[in-house]
A = this chain, B = another copy of it.
């Protein structure tokens, strides 16, 4: 089994300021560029997955790990405020997972990813072990959008249970996505959800994003997602 790996950043308050943050965000972007170069030097690429709490990020990653069965080789950096519940779910599929607990903070930052890469390199012998680094961000449809972590592509999930208006109400997150995945489509028949309107609302704020609709439970629509994710490798 991969080595358990946890980093705690308990002292970072989830409250906002203004003047100080301009400098902090610039520092973050510098570190993100270093992360990106380091991942590329290892022959890999990095995907940053973001969504509301409960949209199905971990469940989609579990289904993805099961389908890939070790190829491509995925290293995961798993962000949560507290607990290793999600990290343990992913470890049960044999994945190397660096768990990062953010404490009071509402998003991951580039310095936490740098530390996560260190842990993954230690656990696997080298970052060269991996074809793809996947970051599961803290469940939050707003704040993570402001932080470059060193990823190459951004994936945003939205569950059919959240309603068709979310792209319009949280436009910054959806606008910045390279790929939007509509999840839990197996439940759609039991909801007042208009999937065409949801897709149109995604297109309104982001005409360029690749859009998938799938169910990690039933497997419907998974193949297109898996093909797209495979293609994100170097």
B-side contacts of A191, CB under 8 Å: 187
Among A80, A161, A166, the most chain B Cβ lie within 10 Å of the Cβ of: A161
Whether A21 contacts B25 in the complex (CB less than 8 A), given A169-B85, A187-B191, comes out as: no
Q: Is A31 an interface residue (CB 8 A)?
A: no
Q: Is A17 an interface residue (CB 8 A)?
A: yes
B-side contacts of A168, CB under 8 Å: 82-83, 85
Q: Is the CB of A15 within 8 A of B25?
A: yes
- Give the contacting residue for A17; candidates B24, B82, B172; CB below 8 A: B24
Copies of this chain, tallied across the complex: 2
Interface size on A, residues (CB 8 A): 49
Whether A166 contacts B53 in the complex (CB less than 8 A), given A138-B142, A142-B106, A190-B190, comes out as: yes
10 of the cross-chain contacts (CB-CB < 8 Å) are: A12-B18, A14-B142, A15-B147, A16-B16, A16-B105, A17-B24, A52-B52, A85-B169, A106-B143, A140-B142
- Give the contacting residue for A171; candidates B25, B52, B82; CB below 8 A: B82
Q: Is A75 an interface residue (CB 8 A)?
A: no
Q: Is the CB of B170 within 8 A of A81?
A: yes
Contact with B along A128-148 (1 / 0, CB 8 A): 000000000011111100110
Among A17, A19, A187, the most chain B Cβ lie within 10 Å of the Cβ of: A17
- Minimum Cβ distance to chain B for residue A189 (Å): 9
C-alpha spacing A86/B138, complex, angstroms? 25
Q: Is A20 an interface residue (CB 8 A)?
A: yes
- Give the contacting residue for A161; candidates B16, B19, B54, B138; CB below 8 A: B54
C-alpha spacing A142/B168, complex, angstroms? 21
C-alpha spacing A55/B24, complex, angstroms? 32
C-alpha spacing A187/B190, complex, angstroms? 7
Q: Is A163 an interface residue (CB 8 A)?
A: yes
Contact with B along A52-87 (1 / 0, CB 8 A): 111000000000000000000000000011110110
B-side contacts of A85, CB under 8 Å: 165, 168-169
